[in-house]
Amino acid sequence: MIDLSHLRGQRVAVMGLGKTGLSVAHALVQAGVEVCVWDDNEDKCEQARAAGLIVKDLRVAPLDNLNAILWSPGIPHTHPIPHPVAVRAGAAQISLISDIELLLSAHPETDVVAITGTNGKSTTTALVGHILSAFRPTEVGGNIGRPALDMPDLGSEGTYVLELSSYQIELTPSLSPTSVILLNITPDHLERHGGMEGYIAAKEQIFANPPIDSRKPTAVICIDTKPCADIAKRLKDNGTWTVILVSTKEILDEGVYVADGILYEVRSGESVSIADLRDLKALKGQHNHENAACAYAALRHVYGIEPDHIIREMISFGGLPHRQYLTRIVGGVAYINDSKATNAEAASKALACYHRIYWILGGLPKEGGLNGLEEFMPRIEKAYLIGQAAHEFAAWLEKRKVPFEHCETLDNAVRAAHLDAQAGLGKPGTSGAGVVLLSPACASWDQFQSFEHRGDVFMTLVGKLEEGV
């Protein structure tokens, strides 16, 4: 656990008692900080009381004696409607901060590689952490893995590889990373940022505080989406960052790019072939080529790791459990857990990789629904709808003549998709067994605690399926 004793004597409130909030509260108490906690869920407050924490209703309790409020990123503090505690904190001029802010305040000497973007953050973060751990002390955290304050002290010889959402970036004002990887920006979380401009601004804020007393920081930016290309231009013009361009859609005259599955690095104006990314079994598809190229660019330019060493570690990367993860093969049918696909753009990455898809989707819908997925509908054998989005998605699928079934819950959907996929093995005029794909294109919170919980339930259900049924 990170030592926060430098904060001893301060008064901090914790708003939101999920896994991270509880981790922070206990770390602060251990450090001698005066702590109170609150959650709108009374059951979580009772659990906190049982754990010995002081619970105060921050909606009405005095706030003027607080140094800061540790804020759960999932709770709105600006848009669409700020939480009442956020409004009170603003009036009292009390900062809302993240657990990442506390980590950085405790260990400013440790390198930070910060990774953000709309899609691909988790895979890229895990990949960078996997590779870098072979060469120096490394811990992966932030929006992935364990809470930031549960990580060990790495000192000046180590690196924290942090996945950061736009929410976390907004709540980490002193973020001053050694390197940033910006993967892509497409519409997502727009209601939380007041529209696309606000969302782009939240992402760009990750570059707002470059370190000035150490080596020049490195910004690795994939320019395949226009907002990212615009940010890269602004940073290059500003000159405070070393900007490394990456693309999977065009041949570049500088930086790193992928063409026909081959990774290239431009050196002294010449394109040098590095590796065939199609050989990486855990990194299938163009979106994963983007992840791999950005990881390569950061590790090559920030730490000078030799290309063959980077690729060797990439080959040993096993992928993430909830991102196109092969859970099981039953009767020749692959069952794929892509629960991390919480919007249409993310789901498109999996849909592009498979044919004869028995598609399980639905949950808490995002703005735009399934728009943008039209080109993949000929790949769908049938769709199985769950959660709040079911009726909206049914209307969208019906217009495109895609067969679907209302299943309501994930267990019903897995069973129905399994029966149909197994029955379809010998369907005339087709080749290949197809896949049962959980790629929800939705948030999980209507029926699950998180996308990880949703994916875990899927894998448990698939594990219980009987052969030959």
Domain CATH code at residue 243: 3.40.1190.10
Query: What 3-state DSSP class applies to 424?
Result: coil
Task: Give CA–CA dist 24/14, Å, rounded.
Answer: 8
**Cα Rg, the chain, nearest whole Å:** 23
User: Does residue 336 contact residue 438 with C-beta atoms inside 8 Å?
Assistant: yes
Task: Give CA–CA dist 199/138, Å, rounded.
Answer: 30
Kindly state whether residue 165 falls inside one of the protein's structural domains. yes
What pLDDT is stored for residue 150 in this prediction?
A: 85
CA distances from 161 to 98, 139, 180, 189, 374 (A): 16, 6, 10, 23, 36
Kindly state whether residue 320 falls inside one of the protein's structural domains. no
The sign one gets for the Cα dihedral 399, 402, 404, 408 is negative
Q: Kindly state whether residues 432 and 459 are assigned to the same domain.
A: yes
What pLDDT is stored for residue 203 in this prediction?
A: 94
DSSP category for residue 155: G
State how beta strands 159-163 and 179-182 pair.
unpaired
Q: Kindly state whether residues 113 and 135 are assigned to the same domain.
A: yes
What pLDDT is stored for residue 256 in this prediction?
A: 98
Q: Kindly state whether residues 305 and 439 are assigned to the same domain.
A: no
What pLDDT is stored for residue 430 in this prediction?
A: 47
Query: What 3-state DSSP class applies to 49?
Result: helix
**End position of a domain, from candidates 293, 315, 337:** 315
**393 exposure class (CB count in 10 Å sphere: 0-12, 13-18, 19+):** buried
C-alpha neighbours within 13 Å on the C-beta side of residue 202: 29
Tokens of 108: 């400013």
Kindly state whether residue 27 falls inside one of the protein's structural domains. yes
Domain CATH code at residue 410: 3.90.190.20
Q: Kindly state whether residues 409 and 346 are assigned to the same domain.
A: yes
Cβ partners under 8 Å of residue 270, min gap 6: none
Q: Kindly state whether residues 93 and 104 are assigned to the same domain.
A: no
Q: Kindly state whether residues 371 and 239 are assigned to the same domain.
A: no
Chain centroid offset of residue 256 CA: 23
User: Does residue 283 contact residue 317 with C-beta atoms inside 8 Å?
Assistant: yes
**End position of a domain, from candidates 64, 97, 130:** 97
C-alpha neighbours within 13 Å on the C-beta side of residue 43: 1
Q: Kindly state whether residues 332 and 297 are assigned to the same domain.
A: no
Kindly state whether residue 266 falls inside one of the protein's structural domains. yes
User: Does residue 349 contact residue 441 with C-beta atoms inside 8 Å?
Assistant: no
Task: Give CA–CA dist 274/292, Å, rounded.
Answer: 12
Q: Kindly state whether residues 277 and 133 are assigned to the same domain.
A: yes
pLDDT digits (tens, 9 = 90+) for 259-305: 999 999 999 999 999 999 999 988 888 889 999 999 999 999 999 99
Q: Kindly state whether residues 118 and 27 are assigned to the same domain.
A: no
Residue keyed to tokens 């010998």: 426
Task: Give CA–CA dist 45/39, Å, rounded.
Answer: 6
Which of 306, 20, 308 shows the shortest CA–CA distance to 163?
20
Task: Give CA–CA dist 358/414, Å, rounded.
Answer: 10
Kindly state whether residue 157 falls inside one of the protein's structural domains. yes
Parent domain of 382: 325-463
Domain count, the chain: 3
Domain CATH code at residue 29: 3.40.50.720
SS3 content of the chain, % helix, strand, coil (to 5): 35, 20, 40
Q: Kindly state whether residues 121 and 81 are assigned to the same domain.
A: no
Which residues face 243 on adjacent strands?
A: 219
Q: Kindly state whether residues 309 and 175 are assigned to the same domain.
A: yes
pTM reported for the whole predicted model? 0.79
Chain centroid offset of residue 423 CA: 35
Kindly state whether residue 468 falls inside one of the protein's structural domains. no
Q: Kindly state whether residues 380 and 433 are assigned to the same domain.
A: yes
Kindly state whether residue 469 falls inside one of the protein's structural domains. no
What stretch of H or E contains 309?
helix 307-315
Which of 288, 255, 101 shows the shortest CA–CA distance to 177?
101
Kindly state whether residue 212 falls inside one of the protein's structural domains. yes
Could you list the beta-strand ranges (E) of 159-297.
159-163, 179-182, 218-222, 242-247, 256-259, 262-267, 270-276
pLDDT digits (tens, 9 = 90+) for 22-37: 889 999 999 999 999 9
Which of 64, 68, 63, 55 shows the shortest CA–CA distance to 17?
55
Tokens of 320: 């993430």
Q: Which residue type is seen at 446? A: D
**End position of a domain, from candidates 44, 73, 97:** 97
Q: Which residues in the chain show pLDDT less than 50?
A: 428-431
